[in-house]
Structure 1
Amino acid sequence: MNDTSPPGWHPARVGITGVGASLPERELTTADLQERIAAASDVALPPGLFRMMTGIDHRRIAADDEYASTFAVRAARQALAAAGRDVDEVDLLLFASASRDLVEPATAHIVQAELGGHAHAMDVTNACNSFLNGIDLARSMILAGRAHRALVVTGETPTRVMRPRLDSLAQARTAFAGYTFGDGGAAVLVEPVRRGGIVDVDTETRSAHWSVGGIFGGGSRHPRGDEHTYFHGDGHTLRGVFEQIGTDILDRVRRRTGWDWVDYDRVLVHQVSVPYLERFIEVTGVPKEKLEVTVGELGNLASATLGVQLARVDAELRRGDRVLAIGLGGGVSVMTMVWEKP
């Protein structure tokens, strides 16, 4: 890349200068999803159960020849174009996602092979908080002088870990959270800015709850076998943990920044289902009109959720407008990021 910054120079502010998002064209209604699962299962499912429990009408589904990297690449091209930058100007590429194309090598290399460029490329993985973690890592490396301009991308294909059939009611309970998923991707360009930028980041982690939900196959514990390749989780317990720790982190952000809900132009929050979102509104008191609601039409996009929401609202934001992003991820972690449009 062409870096004209003086030797030893470090930026005081780092922000997001370009945003992109990508969704599959194929759509699957929740009614059709339940019908497909029911036809393959030994368990009787009451009509309309999936729609009633999730509030999700439909979601986008990746085609057979579309992968996590596919959506990351498409979104990355949008983010670069929005910022008026070329891929050769990027010196750090982070693929930050819960999904990936392969166990090894890092999916970031597949993304970069498609985009071009020779940036330092690596993956960042932390369930549905992966994308926010990637942005924070990019910001930190820029502030430390280890990078000058970073492209952070995510591509999510969690519909491929939905359990295709149910053998029992007990299995249905642990598989149900997987039926909220939808596919998509997002990207942001992160670089030094003269005003605004990312002004606050916080995290809260309770790792004792790591086993409450996840995809347990593909690693050294369960390297092979279909049983561990499907999403398994206890949605009720996850929601309880998020409620317990979520309000504390929001209180800390409020104390540090001095900003309350009225001071944010938009609030972006990870959305698992409509009931989850309604409970979030009830517990936190966030004004519903400040939210960008995507879950009913796109489902749970995993780490791409916040990026897709940001891409949708970015055009309406003006210089100085503030956005609060709230991430919820298995593991379990909660993350916040305050961004002021430069």
Structure 2
Amino acid sequence: MGARIAAVDYYLPERVLDNEELATEFPEWSVEKISAKTGIDRRHISAPDEFSSDLAIAAARKLFARDAIDPQTIDYVILCTQSPDYFLPSTSCIVQNALGVPTSAGATDITLGCSGYVYGLGLAKGLIESGQVSNVLLLTADTYTKFINPADKSVRTIFGDGASATLVTGDGDVDSITAITYGTDGAGGKSLIVPNGGLRAGAALQPNAEPIVRELTPSGYDLYMDGPDIFNFTLRVVPRTVEEILTKAEMEREDIDLFVFHQANAFMLEHLRKKLKVPADRFFVSLAESGNTVSSTIPIALADAEGQGKLVKGMRVMLLGFGVGLSWGGLVTRW
């Protein structure tokens, strides 16, 4: 019994922040400059009373309705988020109850960002192929915009909120999800961090992250990103990881029908595509309408690719997430 991705869908909040609005707030950045720099035209912003559980529940209900999935058939819920509703209880427990998933199901949160979808698929595969469960509901949900200082244009132009829902089932072949590769470099944790709001708020893990140092009025969380450091990390890790995945899969680059990477920003993705020498028609980019939704970018891109007819049954797809942690992970899946 092999685990496979059976269905994917996603949900984006109603409120939209477009480049025209950002250019009004930051006149030194034109609409054209924001679009060229990020590849993002619009991002969706969660409402003040809308949180990760709400987004995850909405994504799951969309999936259930579209694919006629009975929540009573779910054996395990994995929720990937770095913006939980509470320190405790786990957000996955809130979601389990709201969705009507049976109390006999397991439910757990994983705290990962850009690599979280791949890690979640790895955990779902392990649960299924070890015979513990048959159907895993893998959810990703983040409300990063609640962490962002309103005056920090460098991250306001990039991040959006969103959630995804994926059904992973045990009726596939053992190689439906394969060549899983992970990596962690916690020394780079200071490069993308929310320095305030947690129990160790204001600690010296990254002094430059403090809002006053950045000439910002503190807003409570004040997400900080060292863009150049993250960019250099990506260029260092991603090409190496692609080769590791191909080696594990016993495949050549030409055997991959579609590459779907974490949708960080268009500039970075295009740089990676050229460095890897992947043709544009086999390298899917989908962030113009949603922005960087962290753990949800890969499943959103998968759903969009399928909806556009660029991802069809039988294709071999490489998924690769990389970023906050620092953390990365990739795999090959047969659609």
Report if TM-score (shorter chain) is over 0.5.
Answer: yes
Aligned residue runs from structure 1 range 201-216, under 5 A: 201-216=180-195
> Which of 30, 46, 62 is matched with 1:62 structurally?
46
Letter in 1 for 2:188: H
**TM-score, normalising length from structure 1?**
0.85
Letter in 1 for 2:54: T
Does the alignment pair 1:179 with 2:157? yes
Deviations 1:106-145 (A, max 9, x none): 1112211220122211101112222221121111122222
Show the counterpart of 1:126. 112
Show the counterpart of 2:170. 192
Show the counterpart of 1:89. 73
Counting matched residue pairs gives 316
Show the counterpart of 1:325. 319
> Which of 134, 138, 149 is matched with 2:124 structurally?
138
Letter in 2 for 1:69: S
Displacement of 1:33 in angstroms is: 2.1
Q: Secondary structure at the match of 2:320?
A: strand
> Which of 258, 261, 282 is matched with 2:250 structurally?
258
Q: Secondary structure at the match of 2:289?
A: helix
Does the alignment pair 1:98 with 2:90? no
Letter in 2 for 1:184: G
Show the counterpart of 2:236. 244
Instruction: Measure, in 1, the Cα distance between the counterparts of 2:118 and 2:127.
Output: 14
Q: Secondary structure at the match of 1:300?
A: coil
Deviations 1:166-203 (A, max 9, x none): 5xxxxxxxx62353011111111112124352122111
Deviations 1:208-255 (A, max 9, x none): 111111213332211899556121011111110111121111111122
Q: Identity rate of aligned residues, in percent?
A: 28
Structure 1 residues 47, 191: closer, same or farther in 2, change over 3 A? Answer: closer
> Which of 14, 38, 42 is matched with 1:25 structurally?
14
Segments of 5+ residues of structure 2 without an aligned counterpart are 204-210, 212-217
Instruction: Measure, in 2, the Cα distance between the counterparts of 1:46 and 1:183.
Output: 22
Q: Secondary structure at the match of 1:132?
A: helix
The two structures, once aligned, show a CA RMSD in angstroms of 2.3
Does the alignment pair 1:76 with 2:60? yes
Contact 1:222 1:228 in 2 (8 A): no
Displacement of 1:320 in angstroms is: 2.0
Instruction: Measure, in 1, the Cα distance between the counterparts of 2:23 and 2:82.
Output: 24
Instruction: Measure, in 1, the Cα distance between the counterparts of 2:202 and 2:59.
Output: 31
Q: Secondary structure at the match of 2:319?
A: strand
Does the alignment pair 1:45 with 2:28? yes
**TM-score, normalising length from structure 2?**
0.86
